[in-house]
């Protein structure tokens, strides 16, 4: 959950939707990312025109990283959150209902199971996971 989610006090509502969709919460915490952490997390987007704004946004307040588990997790989570830009997101999705714009879009989502494992290990030690 991104800083806009935390600022809007939507952590509970967003997490409830995720759990109702059948995901198990394997790990969860609240953190303030440093610039270096945000740059590293989004390194794949380095050089894109939105990169600096994205890092600024992701360090503008607390984030709530959540490690999730489910069969078909990546595809099902993408369906649940909707398109990157809330204007393009399907009705009833988390981003359609809560996000302001393409940059401030409430939640992150891993794009593959492989990257999901890397991203979970970016935020969580083994002792912090079920
Ligand atoms: P995703 O979060 O749906 O996987 P990505 O394309 O991987 O979308 O982009 C990562 C994040 O970078 C987005 O969630 C959004 O916060 C930001 N972002 C992506 N494209 C744009 C853009 O065109 N303008 C502003 N921010 C963007
Ligand atoms: Mg992505």
Which pair of tokens denotes residue 127? 């002792």
pTM of the model: 0.98
Ligand 1, residue 103: give the atom nearest the CA.
Answer: 26
| Counted domains in the chain | 1
| C-beta of 50 in contact with ligand 1 (< 6 A) | yes
Predicted pLDDT at 79: 98
Active site residues: 108
Residue 67 forms beta bridges with which residues? 27
Nearest residue to 45 via CA among 72, 14, 84, 75: 84
Query: How confident is the model over 58-117, as pLDDT tens digits?
Result: 999 999 999 999 999 999 999 999 999 999 999 999 999 999 999 999 999 999 999 999
What's the whole-number mean pLDDT along residues 116-123? 97
Query: Which structural domain, as residue segments, surrounds residue 34?
Result: 3-128
Q: Which CATH number goes with the domain that contains 85?
A: 3.30.70.141
Interhelix angle 11-20/73-81, nearest 10 degrees: 130
Residues in the chain: 130
**d(Cα 91, Cα 95) in Å, to the nearest integer?**
9
- Tell me what percent of the residues of the chain surpass a pLDDT of 90: 100
């Amino acid at each position: 959950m991104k800083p806009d989610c935390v600022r809007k006090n939507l952590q509970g509502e967003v997490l409830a939707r995720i759990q109702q969709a059948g995901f198990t919460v394997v790990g969860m915490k609240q953190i303030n990312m440093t610039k270096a952490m945000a740059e590293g997390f989004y390194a794949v987007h380095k050089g894109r025109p939105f990169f600096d704004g994205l890092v600024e946004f992701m360090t503008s307040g607390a984030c709530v990283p959540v490690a999730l588990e489910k069969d078909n997790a990546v595809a099902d989570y993408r369906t649940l959150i909707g398109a990157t830009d809330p204007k393009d997101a399907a009705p009833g999705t988390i981003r359609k209902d809560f996000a302001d714009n393409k940059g401030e879009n409430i939640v992150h989502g891993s794009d593959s199971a492989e990257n999901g494992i890397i991203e979970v290990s970016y935020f969580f030690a083994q002792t912090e996971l079920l």
